[in-house]
Amino acid sequence: MLPGGEFTLDEVLTPAVKHFTYEYDFGDSWQHEVSVQQRMVADEERNGWPMCLAGANACPSEDVGGITSYGEFFQVMSDPAHEEHDAMWRWWGGPFDPRGFGINSANRDIQMWLMTRD
């Protein structure tokens, strides 16, 4: 177990590491099982920042809560007849596609996050 913010991935992901668990938001306990499929050396002339090269499925909103709350959110958003559907739709900002993934928006989000850290 390593504290977040004190290490870079490059420092802890030695070539021997093929799999690890990452916990995001200790309050909500989002646990991610990560499989390292490929390592690439950054090309500083192209980009010197982390990038998403592929992905699948939508991320839940920052404020949706843990896995149980996400299940409730998904159920409400999937059922237009649900009494909380319209309120949840407004809170989320429109429709929710659990399979939706956009590599461009993922990389924009990474770049925006990096800019807020400087």
Which amino acid type is present at position 42? A
Question: What's the Cα-to-Cα distance from 72 to each of 24, 66, 79, 103, rounded to whole Å?
Answer: 20, 10, 11, 26
Per the structure block, which two tokens stand in for 26?
Answer: 């200790």
State in Å, rounded, how far the first CA of the chain is from the last one. 26
Nearest to 11 by CA among 19, 22, 2: 2
| Tens digit of each residue's pLDDT (9 = 90 or more) over 26-42 | 777 788 888 888 888 77
Q: What is the pLDDT of residue 118?
A: 62
Q: Which two tokens stand for residue 113?
A: 């996050």
- Sign of the C-alpha dihedral, residues 115, 23, 105, 53? positive
Question: Tell me: the pLDDT tens digits for 89-118?
Answer: 999 999 999 999 999 999 998 889 888 876
Strand partners, 35: 19
More confident residue, 57 or 4: 57
State residue 60's pLDDT score.
81
Q: Supply the pTM of this predicted model.
A: 0.65
Per-residue pLDDT reduced to its tens digit, 63-81: 888 888 999 999 999 999 9
3-state secondary structure of 104: helix
